[in-house]
Amino acid sequence: MQDILINWAPQETRVAIVENGAVQELHIERALERGLVGNIYLGKVARVLPGMQSAFIDIGLERAAFLHVADLVGHSRFEPGGNGNGHTPVPIERQVFEGQSLMVQVIKDPIGTKGARLSTQISIAGRLLVHLPQDDHIGISQKIGSHELREQLRQRMQALVGTRETGGGGGFILRTNAEDATDAELADDIAYGRKTWATIRERAFSVPPGTLLHQDLNLAERVLRDLSNEQTASIRIDSRLQFDHLKAFGQEFTPGAVGKLELYKGERPIFDLYNIDTEIERALARRVDLKSGGYLIIDQTEALTTIDVNTGGFVGARNFDDTIFKTNLEAAGAIARQLRLRNLGGIIIVDFIDMARDEHQSAVLGEFRKQLGRDRTKTTVSGFTQLGLVEMTRKRTRESLAHMLCEPCPTCGGRGQVKTARSVCYDVLREILREARQFNPKEFRVVASAAVVEMLLDEESPHLAGLSEFIGKPISLSAEPTMNPEQYDIVLL
C-alpha cells in the first residue's frame, strides 16, 4: 500500500509517494514555473525545416517550440512516388507553411536549451478516458488484463461513443482505472471530453496566435486523477483551503479518490513524517549508499545518465562472486527507485559490477526489469552489452529533480571541478609575460583569490621574482576575497 503526502504553499506544491516507509516518487510544481505538458495553444508556424522534416512553432513562450512531421495529424498520409511500393510520405513542407495558425498540444516540456515538443494530435485527459477528438479509434490501456476483458470494454465503448453521423464519434482511450467503471461513469467522462473540446475549438476562432487555449490540471488535482489508484491508502494534504478545493474537485471528477483524502493537522511539517526533505537532499547527491555497504555513483549529463555500481565495504558473502551478485541485486532495486525519485529520463547506462556467471547476470537483469515494472513512466531495457553495461531508456517529459531545484555552479560552470591554485598561478605568470610584450607600465598588480596570492608569495615566489627580473618591472599582489579560485586580474599601473 502507498500513502500520498501533499505539501502545499502558494508558491510551490510538493507531492511525495511513500511505500513501506520509503519515498518512491517526488513531484514538484512551482506557481511561476508550472509545467506545460498537456497545455493546448493556438500556435503560429515560424519556420519550416524540410531537411529535419520539422517546424518551429511560436506559442508565446520564450523559445519557439518544435513540431516533427511524425507528430502531425495524418502524418502517415502518402502520395504517389517511387519508394518501392508506389507511395511516399507527404513531406512537412507540403503540409504546413510559415505564418499558418495551428492548434498544438505540448507533449514534452522545454528541457535545457531545447524548446517544448508539440503535437497536432490533441488529447484531453479525463478521470477514466483520454479523448482524441480528431480520431475515431477506441483504445484500451495495455495494463488492463485479459484479451476478453479488453474486447468487452471496447464493445461497450463503441456503443457509448456512437458515430459522427449520429452526433457522436471521436476517439477515446480507456485509462487503467476504467477497468471496473459503469456505463454511466464512462458516459460522464465522454461528455466531459467532448464539452472541453467544444470549448477549446470555439475559443480558437476568436483569439490571436500564441494564446493558451486549455491548461492541464495543477499538480494537486493531478494527484487525484493520475497518481491515486487502488494501492493508495491515504492522500494527506496540509492546507485547509486546498483540501476543500480537492474535495469539491474529487466529488465531481474522481469520486473514488475522495474517501482517501485527509486534512493533515499535525504540528510537525507533513514532510517530516518520513524525512522527505532529507530524501530530497540525498536525491541531489552524486553518491547513493546501499544498505549492504555498496554504493552507486550517478552522473547526469546532457547526452545521457551513467550509473556506476561499487561494492564499497560489503564483504559479507561467502565468496567474491556472491558478494558481487548480492550487491548488484540490491543495486537493481535502488537504481529503479532513484530513477523515479530524480525523474531521470533519456538514455541511461548502468555499469553493474562484472559478474562471471551467466545465471547471475540473468537474475540481476530480471530483478532490474521487475523493479522498473513499478514505474508509471515508460522504460525500455536492452540487456547487457558486450562490455557488460546495461543500456536502457526512460521516457522524458519534464525536467529532472536536479534541473528543477539546482543550477550550474557559478564557480566551475557545471564541470564539477576547478583549477588548482598552482594552475592559476602559472596562468597568471603567462598572462603577465604576454602583457609585458605589448605594454610598458611602471608596475604589474595581480588581483586574485587568497589561495593564489598565498601560493605566489610562498611556493611560487622564486618563479614570480624570476619573471619580475626578466621583464624588468615590479609585480605586486592583492588578495580579493570575493573572487572565485579561477578568477584573476592583471592591473597595469
The rounded distance, in Å, linking the Cα atoms of 220 and 7 is: 9
The rounded distance, in Å, linking the Cα atoms of 271 and 42 is: 39
Residue-wise pLDDT tens digits, 170-210: 899 988 777 778 888 888 888 888 888 999 999 999 999 99
Same topology, domains 2-34+218-277 and 285-402? Answer is: no
CA–chain centroid gap for 232, Å, is: 24
CB atoms near residue 93 (< 10 Å): 15
Question: Among residues 434, 484, 488, 482, which one has the least CA distance to residue 456?
Answer: 488
For the chain, what percent of residues have pLDDT higher than 70?
A: 95
For residue 480, the number of C-alpha atoms closer than 13 Å in the C-beta half-sphere is 14
What pLDDT score does 112 carry?
A: 74
Return the CATH class of domain 2-34+218-277: alpha beta
Compute the mean pLDDT over every residue in the chain, rounded to the nearest whole number.
88
Query: What residues pair up with 12 in beta bridges, in sequence order?
Result: 9, 30
**Residue partners of 307: CB distance under 8 A and separation at least 6:** 296, 297, 298, 299, 335, 338, 348, 349, 350, 351
Q: Is the pLDDT of residue 376 over 90?
A: no
The rounded distance, in Å, linking the Cα atoms of 477 and 75 is: 67
Q: Is the pLDDT of residue 340 over 80?
A: yes
Least confident of 31-45, 74-88, 254-268: 74-88
Question: What single string gives the DSSP state of each residue in 112-142?
Answer: TTB--EEESS--EE-SSEEEETT---EEE-T
The rounded distance, in Å, linking the Cα atoms of 403 and 329 is: 29
Mean pLDDT of 285-311: 91
Task: Tell me if residue 175 falls in helix, strand or coil.
Answer: coil
Spans of all domains in the chain: 2-34+218-277, 40-81+89-214, 285-402, 421-492
The rounded distance, in Å, linking the Cα atoms of 152 and 155 is: 5
Please give the torsion angle defined by the CA atoms of residues 352, 358, 359 and 361, in that order, rounded to the nearest 10 degrees: 20
Greatest Cα-to-Cα distance within the chain, rounded to the nearest angstrom:
97
CB atoms near residue 177 (< 10 Å): 20
What pLDDT score does 318 carry?
A: 63
Residue-wise pLDDT tens digits, 93-124: 999 999 999 999 999 988 877 889 999 999 99
Say yes or no: domain 40-81+89-214 is CATH 2.40.50.140: yes
Residue owning grid cell 527507485 = 337
End-to-end CA distance of the chain: 72
Return the CATH class of domain 285-402: alpha beta
Question: Among residues 36, 17, 10, 59, which one has the least CA distance to residue 399?
Answer: 36
Q: Is the pLDDT of residue 317 over 70?
A: no
Q: Which range has highest mean pLDDT (163-167, 248-252, 341-345)?
A: 341-345
**Residue 195, Ramachandran bin (φ over 0: left; ψ between -120 and 50: alpha; else beta):** alpha
What pLDDT score does 20 carry?
A: 86
- 304-330 core/surface letters (b: 16 or more CB in 10 A; e: else): ebbbbbbbeebeeeeeeeebbbbbbbb
- CATH-assigned architecture of domain 421-492: 3-Layer(aba) Sandwich (3.40)
CB atoms near residue 124 (< 10 Å): 23
- The helix (H) or strand (E) run that includes residue 237 is strand 232-237
Residue-wise pLDDT tens digits, 415-463: 788 999 999 999 999 999 999 999 999 999 999 999 999 999 999 999 9
pLDDT confidence bin for 81, thresholds 50/70/90? low
Query: What residues pair up with 296 in beta bridges, in sequence order?
Result: 288, 309
What pLDDT score does 415 carry?
A: 79
Residue 102 identity (one-letter amino acid): L
C-alpha cell at 450: 587568497
**Residue partners of 211: CB distance under 8 A and separation at least 6:** 41, 42, 60, 203
The rounded distance, in Å, linking the Cα atoms of 25 and 4 is: 10
In sequence order, what E strands does 268-415 have?
287-289, 295-300, 304-310, 346-351, 379-384, 390-394
